[in-house]
Amino acid sequence: MTGRPGERKDQILQVLAEMLEEPRAGKITTAALAAKLDVSEAALYRHFASKAQMFDNLIEFIEKTLLTFINKMIAEEKSGIRQIEGILALLLGFAKKNPGMTRVLIGDALINENERLQNRVNQLHDRLEATLKQALRFAVSEREIVEDLDVSAHANMLLCYVVGRWHQFAKSGFKRDPMEYWEAQFREIASSNSFGQVVS
């Protein structure tokens, strides 16, 4: 590994994410990660106190990336419906570009790891659901969708849709594109059957 300490940490995380992209990757050990980087395990521990800390940093990167893009999109988009569409497309697109991180998002990569890591991913899911709820409330306030919509139930349904696509992508060995059928499916999501009758 070459470069400054910060760059070396990024390099370790990048290789960890790449290892997670292997469709049948089992539990990743520090020994396997060190071998991939062609360094000793001791060299890894000079940058991270534990493997859990590596995953912590990976989750932090995922969280920061998703929320930064979502917040920017919400600030620029004046339609609640378009905000919802943008959030869902961003979450699916992120998975498509980052297969290994998708395994972190669904908890698949965290099996047998520190339980705290799964709790942190769960908290991220909660934040994403809250963001969808906020966009739905905005759409209601702008009279884009009906006033009596159960925003909590719909926000949960939308997140379940995303997580289901993430699971299908990961469990197919990254063969099933998470954006497959996206346009047709969003039309269905935004139809009267899903959002209630759209206010004209």
- Structural domains for the chain: 51-190 (1.10.357.10)
pLDDT digits (tens, 9 = 90+) for 12-62: 999 999 999 986 666 788 999 999 999 999 999 999 999 999 999 999 999
Q: Which residues contact 22 (CB under 8 A, 6 or more apart)?
A: none
Encoded tokens for 176? 């099933």
Q: Whole-model pTM above 0.95? A: no
Give the whole-angstrom CA distance, residue 10 versus residue 196: 46
Encoded tokens for 35? 């071998």
Give the whole-angstrom CA distance, residue 179 versus residue 67: 20
